[in-house]
């Protein structure tokens, strides 16, 4: 039996988003034959009657389109644009064959996929279509992007080209016609011939987004989940430095408190280390050429233990990179250090306190002196006022059984004194610490972890990793000593990790597989959003 006879989808050519002039090349490009191969009874979506020359049945009412799908017994609507002259039939057929319409709602070879734009298709299950309020294929895609939590996704990871080649747009448009005039119309319209055609014409054939979107892929194509700005799709706008793994505290919710039966530190803390100032400078130099929303200096320990901390703040400020923030437990921030920090131009300091009373503080923040820490925070606030700096101050509270009774009192005490009081739910640090199951939404509701799209972390060993709470360094990619942030951000490893999260198909070998901390990172929240709010 021919594959198309066994298929249970309805192919619709979206004429609303394409120029009918593309039909001049339908036969020569083989697009007409490809459509027939996918679905001999494909239809044309033409609500404005622009495609009068088309031989396929034209549909102008979306209700009629859905009715045709029902009558066919189709379980999915496969959407092709009228200008997709280089549609890759093999990749499309193989991709659709892997689309589990019973478990997924949306299949795409467009956003986030490493394919030239226009060489693949998008498909929506008919059950998902029934749940939308939409009147065209384009509005269906808008609906999916606006309400992603309602849908399960399948992004094609099996058919790939290089990152550079995936930025090219193979659809019919003025730039493609100009390429035909310059290099000649190819004899065969397939992916290989398009890439040959594009050689030397990459800039003119690069995909150009029609406008801005709340979330985008690496090419700035609108996406349901993804980078939250065009700048971040190019380079992480939030860069975090874990500058040391040595701490003077053993807070009970922190992996620094973990010991084995013999009282020894776990392997991931056995070797102490500090980020070299030279590596820090190199990363900041790269950031100076980019749009950066936040540089955060923190640690798998206490940053004030690092001897070059103040030099790090001063260097970033001198390079015009920032805002620069520091996260600290406050215990080592003497008046002299506070004054130097403020004079260095620090723009935000986040004090991790977790308690109001002495009793609770000593239970949670083991090893720290309550009076000394509180005195340091108040002296810092007094110095800020005296020096007239615009430094913002946050105090943080990690809610857990031992301190939950003090949340309201903590908020009431600090709100008049600081710029922001942050109360966070406790997380597991990728399974290292016990997590209260209360509030966990369940695995069926899992969403892609936002960390892979928002920031990078440079750890104390100069290695770039994706996860800020990965103490065991299992999400490490590679050292920035022999590479750079931009190339790692667009690397094959990073892309595949993102796609695993987007597809909710994370391999057993990944640290992310059984991690529940994605639930503590909803897409509508994030530390960088707090920073932006404070700066506005």
Q: How far is CA 468 from CA 27, 240, 297, in A?
A: 53, 8, 12
Residue 82, pLDDT above cutoff 90 = yes
- The per-residue pLDDT for 246 is 93
**CB atoms near residue 205 (< 10 Å):** 24
Asked whether residue 223 is domain-assigned, the answer is no
Asked whether residue 201 is domain-assigned, the answer is no
Assign 22 to helix, strand or coil: helix
Asked whether residue 26 is domain-assigned, the answer is yes
Asked whether residue 401 is domain-assigned, the answer is yes
Q: Is the dihedral of CA 115, 116, 117, 119 positive or negative?
A: negative
β partners of residue 107: 123, 154
- The per-residue pLDDT for 358 is 97
Question: C-alpha 291: how far from its chain's center?
Answer: 16
- Closest residue by Cα to residue 466 from 279, 238, 225, 283: 238
Average pLDDT over residues 116-135: 96
With residues binned 3-state (H G I as helix, E B as strand, rest as coil), the percentages for the chain, rounded to 5, are 40, 15, 45
Which percentage of the chain shows pLDDT scores above 90? 85
Q: How far is CA 518 from CA 15, 154, 354, 501, 534, in A?
A: 39, 19, 22, 10, 25
Ramachandran sector of residue 472 (left: φ over 0; alpha: ψ -120 to 50; beta: rest): alpha
Asked whether residue 91 is domain-assigned, the answer is yes
Residue 242, pLDDT above cutoff 60 = yes
Same domain as 296, residue 153: no
Please tell me which residue, 342 or 535, carries the higher pLDDT value: 342
Same domain as 389, residue 249: yes
Q: Are 113 and 94 in contact (CB under 8 A)?
A: no
Same domain as 241, residue 159: no
- The per-residue pLDDT for 4 is 39
What is the rounded distance in angstroms from the CA atom of residue 236 to the CA atom of residue 291?
Answer: 9
- Closest residue by Cα to residue 468 from 477, 460, 459: 459
Average pLDDT over residues 245-253: 93
Q: In this structure, are strands 43-45 and 9-14 parallel, antiparallel, or unpaired?
A: parallel
Residue 6, pLDDT above cutoff 50 = no
pLDDT in tens, 397-408: 999 999 999 999
- The per-residue pLDDT for 102 is 73
Provide the CATH number for the domain around residue 140: 3.90.550.10
- The per-residue pLDDT for 2 is 36
Residue 235, pLDDT above cutoff 60 = yes
Q: In this structure, are strands 122-125 and 106-108 parallel, antiparallel, or unpaired?
A: antiparallel
Average pLDDT over residues 335-341: 97
What is the rounded distance in angstroms from the CA atom of residue 362 to the CA atom of residue 355?
Answer: 9
- The per-residue pLDDT for 436 is 62
Domain tally, the chain: 2
Q: Which residues contact 214 (CB under 8 A, 6 or more apart)?
A: 145, 228
Same domain as 241, residue 154: no
Tokens (6 digits) for 165: 């080649």
- The per-residue pLDDT for 435 is 65
pLDDT in tens, 142-165: 999 999 999 999 999 999 999 999
Asked whether residue 198 is domain-assigned, the answer is no
User: With 0-12 CB in 10 A as exposed, 13-18 as middle and 19+ as buried, what is 87?
Assistant: buried
- The per-residue pLDDT for 100 is 78
Assign 375 to helix, strand or coil: helix
pLDDT band at 322 (very low <50, low <70, confident <90, very high): confident
- The per-residue pLDDT for 3 is 40
Domain of residue 78: give its range. Answer: 3-166
**Got the DSSP string for 273-310?**
-B--HHHHHHHHHHHTTS--SEEEEE-SS-GGGSTTHH
Asked whether residue 525 is domain-assigned, the answer is no
Q: Enter the pTM of the model.
A: 0.92
Tokens 């509270």 belong to which residue?
397
Backbone angles phi, psi at 34, to 5 degrees: -65, -40
Question: Which of 432, 453, 481 is the C-terminal boundary of a domain?
Answer: 481
Average pLDDT over residues 253-261: 84
Question: Which of 166, 201, 216 is the C-terminal boundary of a domain?
Answer: 166
Q: Are 399 and 425 in contact (CB under 8 A)?
A: yes
pLDDT band at 431 (very low <50, low <70, confident <90, very high): confident
Q: What are the start-end ranges of the H helices in 53-107?
A: 62-72, 89-97
Provide the CATH number for the domain around residue 370: 3.20.20.70
Same domain as 353, residue 265: yes
- The per-residue pLDDT for 265 is 82
- The per-residue pLDDT for 426 is 83
Task: Output the average pLDDT for the chain.
Answer: 93
pLDDT band at 439 (very low <50, low <70, confident <90, very high): low
What is the rounded distance in angstroms from the CA atom of residue 217 to the CA atom of residue 213?
Answer: 10
pLDDT in tens, 30-48: 999 999 999 999 999 999 9
Q: Which of 249-263, 281-295, 338-352 has the lowest mean pLDDT?
A: 249-263
Residue 203, pLDDT above cutoff 80 = yes
Up-side HSE of residue 464: CA atoms within 13 Å toward CB? 27
Q: Is the dihedral of CA 309, 310, 311, 317 positive or negative?
A: positive
Same domain as 10, residue 141: yes
Please tell me which residue, 194 or 271, carries the higher pLDDT value: 194
Average pLDDT over residues 51-65: 91
Tokens 């009076």 belong to which residue?
371
Same domain as 317, residue 435: yes
């Amino acid at each position: 039996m021919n594959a198309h006879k066994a298929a249970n989808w309805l192919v619709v050519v979206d004429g609303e988003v394409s120029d009918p002039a593309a039909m001049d090349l339908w036969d020569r490009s083989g697009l007409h034959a490809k459509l027939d191969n996918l679905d001999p009874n494909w239809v044309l979506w033409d609500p404005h009657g622009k495609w009068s020359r088309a031989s396929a049945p034209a549909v102008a009412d979306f209700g009629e389109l859905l009715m045709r799908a029902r009558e066919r017994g189709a379980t999915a609507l496969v959407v092709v644009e009228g200008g997709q002259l280089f549609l890759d039939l093999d990749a499309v057929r193989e991709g659709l064959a892997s689309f589990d319409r019973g478990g997924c709602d949306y299949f795409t070879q467009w956003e986030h996929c490493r394919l030239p734009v226009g060489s693949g298709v998008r498909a929506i299950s008919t059950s998902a279509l029934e749940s939308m309020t939409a009147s065209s294929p384009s509005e269906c895609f808008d609906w999916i992007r606006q309400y992603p939590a309602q849908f399960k996704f399948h992004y094609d990871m099996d058919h790939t080209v290089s990152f550079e080649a995936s930025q090219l747009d193979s659809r019919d448009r003025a730039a493609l016609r100009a390429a035909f005039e310059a290099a000649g119309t190819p004899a065969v319209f397939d992916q290989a011939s398009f890439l040959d055609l594009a050689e030397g014409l990459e800039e003119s054939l690069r995909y150009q987004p029609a406008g801005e979107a709340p979330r985008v892929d690496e090419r700035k194509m609108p996406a349901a989940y993804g980078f939250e700005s065009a700048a971040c799709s190019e380079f992480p706008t939030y860069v975090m430095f874990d500058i040391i793994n040595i701490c003077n505290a053993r807070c009970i919710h922190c992996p620094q408190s973990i010991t084995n039966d013999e009282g020894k530190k776990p392997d991931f803390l056995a070797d102490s280390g500090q980020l070299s100032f030279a590596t820090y400078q190199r990363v900041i130099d790269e950031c100076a050429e980019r749009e950066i929303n936040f540089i955060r200096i923190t640690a798998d320990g206490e940053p004030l233990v690092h001897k070059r901390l103040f030099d790090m703040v001063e260097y970033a400020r001198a390079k015009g990179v920032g805002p620069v923030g520091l996260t600290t437990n406050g215990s080592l921030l003497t008046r002299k250090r506070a004054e130097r920090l403020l004079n260095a131009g620090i723009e935000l300091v986040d004090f991790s306190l977790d308690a109001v009373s002495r009793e609770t503080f000593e239970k949670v923040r083991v090893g720290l002196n309550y009076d000394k820490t509180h005195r340091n925070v108040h002296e810092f606030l007094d110095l800020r006022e005296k020096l007239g700096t615009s430094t913002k101050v946050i105090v943080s509270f990690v809610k857990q059984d031992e301190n939950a009774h003090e949340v309201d009192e903590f908020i009431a005490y600090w709100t008049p004194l600081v710029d922001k009081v942050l109360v966070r739910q406790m997380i597991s640090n990728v399974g290292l610490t016990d997590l209260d199951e209360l509030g966990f939404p369940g695995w069926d509701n899992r969403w892609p972890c936002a960390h892979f799209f928002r920031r990078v972390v440079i750890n104390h060993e100069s290695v770039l990793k994706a996860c800020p709470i990965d103490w065991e360094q299992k999400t490490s990619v590679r050292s920035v000593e022999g590479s750079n942030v931009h190339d790692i951000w667009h690397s094959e490893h990073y892309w595949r990790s993102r796609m695993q999260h987007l597809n909710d198909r994370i391999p057993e070998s990944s640290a992310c597989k059984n991690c529940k901390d994605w639930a503590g990172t909803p897409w509508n929240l994030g530390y960088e959003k707090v920073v932006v709010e404070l700066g506005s």
